[in-house]
Structure 1
Amino acid sequence: MNGTIRVGLIGYGFAGSVFHAPVITSVPGLELTKVVERRSAKSKARYPEVEVVHGVEELYADETIDLVVVTTPSTDHYAFVKNALLAGKHVVVEKPFTPTAKEADELIAHAKEKGKVLSVFHNRRFDGDFLTLRELLRQGLLGEVMEAEFRWDGFDPVLRSTNWREGNLPGTGVFYDLGVHLMDQALTLFGLPSSIAGDVRMQREGAEAHDYFDVALLYESGLKVRLKSSKFVREASPRYALYGSNGSFVKHGIDPQEAALIAGAQPSAVRNWGKEPRERWGKINTSVGGLHVEGVIETVAGSYVDYYRNVMAHIQGQAELEVKPEEARLAIQLIELALQSSEEGRAMPVPFAVAAPLV
Structure 2
Amino acid sequence: MQLVRVGLCAFGMSGKIFHAPFLKEHPGFFISAIVERSKEDSKEKYPEAVIYHSVEEMLQNADIEVVVINTPVQTHYEYAKKALEAGKNIIVEKPFTVNVEEAEELVNLAEQKGLFLSVYQNRRFDRDFLQVQKILNDKKLGEIKEAEIRFDRFRTEPSGKQHKENPEQTGSGSLHDLGSHLVDQAVQYFGYPEKLFADVFSMKGADFANDYFEILLLYKNNMRVRLKSSVFSKEAHYAYVIHGSKGTFLQERTDNQEAELVSGSIPVYGKDWTKPITGSDGILNFLNENNETERIVTSSEPGNYMNYYQQIYEHIVFGYPLPSPGKEVIQNMKIIDAAIESSQQGKIMNLI
Query: What is the identity, as a one-letter code, of the residue corresponding to 1:292?
Result: T
Q: What's the CA shift for 1:39?
A: 0.6
Q: Which residue of 1 aligns with 2:82?
A: 83
Q: Which residue of 2 aligns with 1:218?
A: 218
Instruction: Go from structure 1 to structure 2 and tell me whether the alpha carbon gap of 1:301 and 1:53 turns closer, same or farther (over 3 Å shift).
Output: same
Q: What's the CA shift for 1:271?
A: 6.7
**Kept after mapping to 2: 8 A contact 1:239/1:253:** yes
Q: Which residue of 2 aligns with 1:151?
A: 150
Q: What's the CA shift for 1:206?
A: 5.6
Q: Which residue of 2 aligns with 1:273?
A: 273
Q: Alignment length, in residue pairs?
A: 350
* Structure 2 residue 107 is matched with structure 1 residue 108: yes
Q: What's the CA shift for 1:317?
A: 3.4
Unmatched segments (≥5 aa) in structure 1? 352-359
**Kept after mapping to 2: 8 A contact 1:159/1:206:** no
RMSD between superposed Cα atoms in Å: 1.7
**Kept after mapping to 1: 8 A contact 2:132/2:251:** no
* Structure 2 residue 328 is matched with structure 1 residue 327: yes
Q: Which residue of 2 aligns with 1:339?
A: 340
Unmatched segments (≥5 aa) in structure 2? none
**Kept after mapping to 2: 8 A contact 1:275/1:302:** no
TM-score by length of 2: 0.95
**1:156-196 deviation digits (Å, cap 9, x = unpaired):** 23436343211121111000000110000000110011100
Q: Which residue of 1 aligns with 2:187?
A: 187
**Kept after mapping to 2: 8 A contact 1:148/1:240:** yes
Q: Which residue of 2 aligns with 1:22?
A: 21
SS, match of residue 268 in structure 1:
coil
* Structure 2 residue 318 is matched with structure 1 residue 317: yes
SS, match of residue 279 in structure 1:
coil
Identity %: 38
SS, match of residue 294 in structure 1:
strand
SS, match of residue 225 in structure 1:
strand
Query: What is the identity, as a one-letter code, of the residue corresponding to 1:10?
Result: C
Please give the alpha-carbon distance, in whole angstroms, between the structure 2 residues aligned to 1:293 and 1:11.
50
**Kept after mapping to 2: 8 A contact 1:275/1:300:** no
Q: Which residue of 2 aligns with 1:234?
A: 234
Q: Which residue of 1 aligns with 2:125?
A: 126
Please give the alpha-carbon distance, in whole angstroms, between the structure 2 residues aligned to 1:271 and 1:112.
34
**Kept after mapping to 2: 8 A contact 1:311/1:321:** yes
**Kept after mapping to 2: 8 A contact 1:71/1:93:** yes
Instruction: Go from structure 1 to structure 2 and tell me whether the alpha carbon gap of 1:160 and 1:299 turns closer, same or farther (over 3 Å shift).
Output: closer
Query: What is the identity, as a one-letter code, of the residue corresponding to 2:335?
Result: L
TM-score by length of 1: 0.93
Q: Which residue of 2 aligns with 1:209?
A: 209
Deviates more, 1:262-271 or 1:33-42: 262-271
